[in-house]
């Protein structure tokens, strides 16, 4: 099993609401705050068991106020909407970066199916999403 990629640099760009993470693999990911917020691993988002996930809505303008290290394996992100209970392990941050396009499209699809609007959602026939 390959070791988990480790971040070599983490920069918060509050003006553009982006967290830029560079890993020892040479890959750099620009992760929007909204994306990080809706994919938090906290129980508030994931629920306490499979099927209890809570769709996060209205997080487009969310920003990160602070970042706290958690040991040598993760960071805690403090969002300006008060959310700060999710821990972002290096493994999770790498996965979020590596699969950003697919995860984001999945989130937009779930928003649309739930009847919510987002500027990144293009009008479409909902039957195509099922």
Say if 1 falls within a structural domain.
no
Say if 74 falls within a structural domain.
yes
Say if 75 falls within a structural domain.
yes
Say if 28 falls within a structural domain.
yes
Strand, helix or coil for residue 123: coil
Q: Where in the sequence is the domain holding 39, given as residue range(s)?
A: 7-128
Q: What per-residue confidence (pLDDT) applies to 123? A: 63
CA-CA distance, 130 to 126, in Å (whole number)?
7
pTM value? 0.90
Q: Which of 1, 2, 6 is nearest to 91 (CA)?
A: 6
Say if 103 falls within a structural domain.
yes
* Residue-wise pLDDT tens digits, 8-42: 999 999 999 999 999 999 999 999 999 999 999 99
CATH number at residue 69: 3.30.2020.30
* Residue-wise pLDDT tens digits, 77-121: 999 999 999 899 999 999 999 999 999 999 999 999 999 988 887
Domain count, the chain: 1
Cβ atoms 72, 80 nearer than 8 A: no
């Amino acid at each position: 099993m390959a070791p988990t990629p480790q971040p070599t640099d983490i920069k918060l760009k509050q003006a553009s609401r982006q967290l830029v993470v560079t890993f020892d693999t040479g890959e750099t990911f620009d992760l929007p705050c909204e994306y990080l917020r809706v994919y938090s691993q906290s129980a508030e988002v994931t629920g306490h068991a499979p099927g209890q996930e809570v769709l996060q809505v209205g997080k487009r303008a969310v920003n990160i106020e602070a970042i706290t290290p958690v040991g040598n394996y993760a960071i805690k992100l403090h969002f300006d909407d008060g959310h700060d209970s999710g821990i972002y392990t290096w493994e999770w941050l790498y996965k979020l970066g590596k699969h950003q396009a697919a995860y984001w499209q999945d989130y937009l699809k779930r928003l649309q199916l739930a009847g919510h609007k987002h500027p990144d959602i293009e009008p479409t026939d909902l039957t195509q999403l099922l």
